[in-house]
Amino acid sequence: MYSVYFTSMSREQKKLKRVDRMNRNGEEEVAEKRRRRRREGVQVSLRGGCLAASATAIAVMLMATEKGVADIYGLPLPLNSSWSFSPSYQYVVGACTVTVLYSLLHLCLGIYRLLTGSPITPSRSQAWLCFIFDQLFSYLIMSAGSAGIGVTNLNKTGIKHTPLPDFCKTLSYFCNHVALSLLLVLLSFIFLASSSLFNVLVLSTL
């Protein structure tokens, strides 16, 4: 009788342990899914931030046009400035346009996968592709920003060996818009670099 009692007790304990183990596994699975969803939400937010920064940089740059008159040794010099006159600023607009399209594609895909419950990066190969393309677009946007900063600095300081003045004193509207656009380009680079870092984190978990 005692052997039957102990046997039934051991079976009940095993069942309880098995149920407890299943509950713990289920809780861990739910917690891991929540962590993954939070991480993917951050990824989608970074894509949205990059899209917004790049699109705003384009809009601000396109508004960078102004006319004025500079005074050189008492002689009036008419000035007409526009972003389209500079190949560097054209490069900024082109790089930002491509980045907007790239970010929009990833943002739409990420939102769709979040809504359907599927993982944003389902495989290591896709994570590697996202990492590589994020790196490429980061270098592209940074090179465009560097080119634009060089021209903007020249407009601000003028050319010391010639009587050409500081154009930004006369064309302040133009210079302020260009500077704001380049600041947004830098912000777009930060979003892309952060997204690339998150891809590294995803690769470590796949």
What are the distances in angstroms from CA 95 to CA 12, 74, 98, 102, 188? 67, 41, 5, 11, 11
Q: Are the C-beta atoms of 158 and 167 separated by less than 8 Å?
A: yes
The candidate with the shortest Cα–Cα distance to 151, out of 58, 80, 89, 61, is 89
pLDDT of residue 5: 46
Indicate whether 165 pLDDT > 50.
yes
Asked if residue 81 is part of any domain, the answer here is yes
Q: Are the C-beta atoms of 67 and 79 separated by less than 8 Å?
A: yes
Q: Which residue has the higher pLDDT, 170 or 13?
A: 170
Asked if residue 34 is part of any domain, the answer here is no
pLDDT of residue 189: 94
Asked if residue 65 is part of any domain, the answer here is yes
Indicate whether 188 pLDDT > 50.
yes
Asked if residue 4 is part of any domain, the answer here is no
pLDDT of residue 2: 47
pLDDT of residue 6: 46
The β-bridge partners of 77 are 70
Indicate whether 198 pLDDT > 90.
no
Asked if residue 10 is part of any domain, the answer here is no
Strand segments (E) across 7-158: 65-72, 75-82
The candidate with the shortest Cα–Cα distance to 141, out of 95, 181, 178, is 95
Asked if residue 162 is part of any domain, the answer here is yes
3-state secondary structure of 82: strand
pLDDT of residue 13: 60
Q: What is the per-residue pLDDT across 22-70, written as a single tens digit (0 to 9) for each?
A: 555 555 665 656 776 777 788 889 999 999 999 999 999 999 888 876 6
Asked if residue 112 is part of any domain, the answer here is yes
Q: What is the domain extent for residue 116? A: 39-205
Q: What is the per-residue pLDDT across 80-90, written as a single tens digit (0 to 9) for each?
A: 788 888 899 99
Q: What is the per-residue pLDDT across 103-161, written as a single tens digit (0 to 9) for each?
A: 999 899 888 888 887 777 777 888 888 888 999 999 999 999 999 998 888 777 655 54
Joined together, the tokens standing for residue 113 give: 């996968």
Domain count, the chain: 1
pLDDT of residue 105: 92
**Other CB atoms within 10 Å distance of the CB of residue 179:** 18
Asked if residue 26 is part of any domain, the answer here is no
pLDDT of residue 169: 76
